[in-house]
Structure 1
C-alpha cells in the first residue's frame, strides 16, 4: 500500500509522533472483521474514549487553534419529495463543521427514516463549497470524562441510525470531506463526488482515531489497509483516487 520511500518516511514519522493512537488504531482495525457493525461502533467508541484521556490528546487540545468570530450553530434542513428525503448540512460559514446541534439533527433525521419505511431514500448534501470540515474543533474536550463521552456517543452518534438505513442512504459530496463528515458519508450505499472533492482523516495528529463511525464505515468500503493508510498518514486523497479505491461510487460534474 505504501508506494514510495518518501511516503513510507512520512508514515513512519506520523506513527512515531503518536505511537499510542497508532497502536490503538491498528488493534481496533484488526478486531473489526470479527464484529458486527453495531459492535464495531461500540469498540471504536471505547478505543476513542481511551485515547481521549491520553496526554497526547490533552496536549493537542491545549495547542489547538479555534477560529475566532461569532459562534455559528449548525443545523440540518430536511425536505421531502414524495418518498425521498433530502438532508442538507447547513453551517456553510464554518465549512459545515459538525457541532452538537448538527450532530443531534443528523441523528434525528436518520432515526426518522428508520421509523418511516415509506421513505425510500435519504440523500445527504451540504451547503456551499465544503461538504464538511469534520467535527467542530471547539467542542473537543468539552466532555472531560471519557466514560461519559462514550455513553453520549452510544446514544446520539448519527452513525448508529445511519447504519440501519444504509441501503436507502445516498451522499452527494462537493469539496472537502474531512473527519466526521467523511466517516458518516461512508455508510451510504451510494456516494457521488465532484471532481474537485477531496478526502482526509486527520485524527491521528490529534492523538485520537476516527470516532464518528469511520473505522467501521471506511473499512467496509476500502478495506483495513487503506483505512489504516488514510488515518496513519493523515494525507488528503483526491476524487480520482477515491473512485479507484471505492471510497466513492461515481464522479460527477
Structure 2
C-alpha cells in the first residue's frame, strides 16, 4: 500500500467513526452497537492521522473493536488505547493490557457479536461505563456503576431475562450467620458460610459481610484480613432468586451506594487477602478483585454474566476488575461472559497466586 493509499484508508476509517451513530430504533434499540476496525490496515499512518483516529474512537458511541493479525506497531498504541478492546492471534501479546489474545480472531468476533446482539443496550452501557470508572476515584466510580445498574433494572433486556428465568424460588434461610468472623491476635478471618447456595450474595449475606468488614476498617490493630468461602464455591454471584424484586430504581441506586461493602473493601485493600475456589461468578469475582492479594485454587474460574442478563456488573466490578486487568480485558470478559480459568486469571493479573492444598 502506498503512502497516499494508507492515508486514504486511515481517513476512511476515521470518517466512518465520525459518521457512525447508534442508529437507535423507535423502541430504543441500537441498530449498530458494534464497530470493527482492522488495525493492520493502519500500518504506516502519519502521527497526525493516528492522533485524529484515536480521538474519533474516544468520541464514538458504539463499542469499537480492533483486529490485529500482526504485532502492534508502537505508533498505533494511541488507537489501541482508545478502542474498547483489541483482538489478536499473535503469540506473545499477553503482556499488553489493551490486547486480548485469542486462538481464532474470526471466532472471537462471532462470540462478541452474538453477545452484544443479545443485550445491545446493556453492552453499550457496560462499554461506556468502563471508560468512566477507570478515570474516577472509587466512590465516584461506584456511584456511576450503581446508577447504570439501577437504570438497567427497569430496561427491557433485564425484563426478558427475568421472563426466561421463570418464577423465583422461595428458599428457607438458615438460622446460623451467613458470614462468620473470628480473630486471632492481629488477624481477622471472615468466612462466607452459605454453602447450600454456593455463598450467593443475598441481601442478608451482603449486610453481614458489610458489618464484618466495617469492624476490620474501624480497628487499626487488625493488621491482616482474610475472606474465604465454605462449600464448593467461593461465591456464585448475586442471589438470582432476589433479582427482580427492586421496583424503584432510585431506591436501588441508593441501597447500592449505602449498603454495599465495596467501598470498605477498597479502603482495607492493603490488609486484605481474598482466597477463592470453585465458582467465582459476578459479585464473587468483583469483590475479590478489590483485595490487595487474591489467591485462587486451581479449580477456580471467574465469570461475569451480567450483560447477558441485561445488566452490568453491579458489585463494584467495573471499578475493581479494570484496576487489575485493564478496561480492555475487563470489557472482553464482561461483554462476552466467557469464563476465565485460574491460570488465565493469573496471567492477566486478576489473581496474584495459585494455591495448592489450601496453602
SS in 1 for 2:183: strand
Equivalent residue number for residue 200 of structure 1? 303
Residue 220 (str. 1) matches residue 327 (str. 2): no
Q: Give the structure with the higher percent helix.
A: 1
Structure 1 residues without counterparts, runs of 5 or longer:
none
**Separation in structure 2 between the aligned mates of residue 34 and residue 201 of structure 1, nearest angstrom:** 22
Q: Which runs of 4+ in 1 moved over 6 A?
A: none
What are the residue-to-residue correspondences of 1:48-67 with 2, within 5 Å? 48-65=149-166
**Separation in structure 2 between the aligned mates of residue 235 and residue 206 of structure 1, nearest angstrom:** 14
Query: 2:222 aligned to 112, 119, 142, which one?
Result: 119
**Separation in structure 1 between the aligned mates of residue 313 and residue 127 of structure 2, nearest angstrom:** 12
Q: Is the CA contact (8 Å cut-off) linking 1:130 and 1:176 kept in structure 2?
A: yes
Query: 2:140 aligned to 34, 39, 52, which one?
Result: 39
In terms of mean alpha carbon deviation, does 87-96 or 71-80 score higher? 71-80
**Separation in structure 2 between the aligned mates of residue 189 and residue 101 of structure 1, nearest angstrom:** 25
Structure-2 change in CA distance of 1:9 and 1:70 (3 Å): same
Q: Which of these two proteins has the greater Rg computed from alpha carbons?
A: 2
Equivalent residue number for residue 258 of structure 2? 155
Equivalent residue number for residue 89 of structure 1? 192
**Separation in structure 1 between the aligned mates of residue 234 and residue 310 of structure 2, nearest angstrom:** 24
SS in 1 for 2:225: strand
Q: Is the CA contact (8 Å cut-off) linking 2:198 and 2:233 kept in structure 1?
A: yes
Please report how far the alpha carbon of residue 72 of structure 1 lies from its aligned counterpart in structure 2 after TM superposition. Answer: 3.3
Equivalent residue number for residue 289 of structure 2? 186
Q: TM-score, normalised by structure 2?
A: 0.68
CA RMSD, 1 decimal? 1.4
Residue 143 (str. 1) matches residue 246 (str. 2): yes
Q: Is the CA contact (8 Å cut-off) linking 1:72 and 1:94 kept in structure 2?
A: no
CA deviation digits over 1:187-213, x for unaligned, max 9?
Answer: 000011111111100001100000010
Equivalent residue number for residue 107 of structure 1? 210
Equivalent residue number for residue 312 of structure 2? 209
**Separation in structure 1 between the aligned mates of residue 229 and residue 334 of structure 2, nearest angstrom:** 24
**RCO comparison, higher one (Cα < 8 Å, 6+):** 1
Structure-2 change in CA distance of 1:197 and 1:205 (3 Å): same
Please report how far the alpha carbon of residue 62 of structure 1 lies from its aligned counterpart in structure 2 after TM superposition. Answer: 2.1
Equivalent residue number for residue 27 of structure 1? 128
Q: Is the CA contact (8 Å cut-off) linking 2:134 and 2:327 kept in structure 1?
A: no
Structure-2 change in CA distance of 1:108 and 1:2 (3 Å): same
CA deviation digits over 1:100-142, x for unaligned, max 9?
Answer: 1100011111111111111111100000211111000011111
Please report how far the alpha carbon of residue 50 of structure 1 lies from its aligned counterpart in structure 2 after TM superposition. Answer: 1.3
**Separation in structure 1 between the aligned mates of residue 154 and residue 342 of structure 2, nearest angstrom:** 35
Structure 2 residues without counterparts, runs of 5 or longer:
1-99
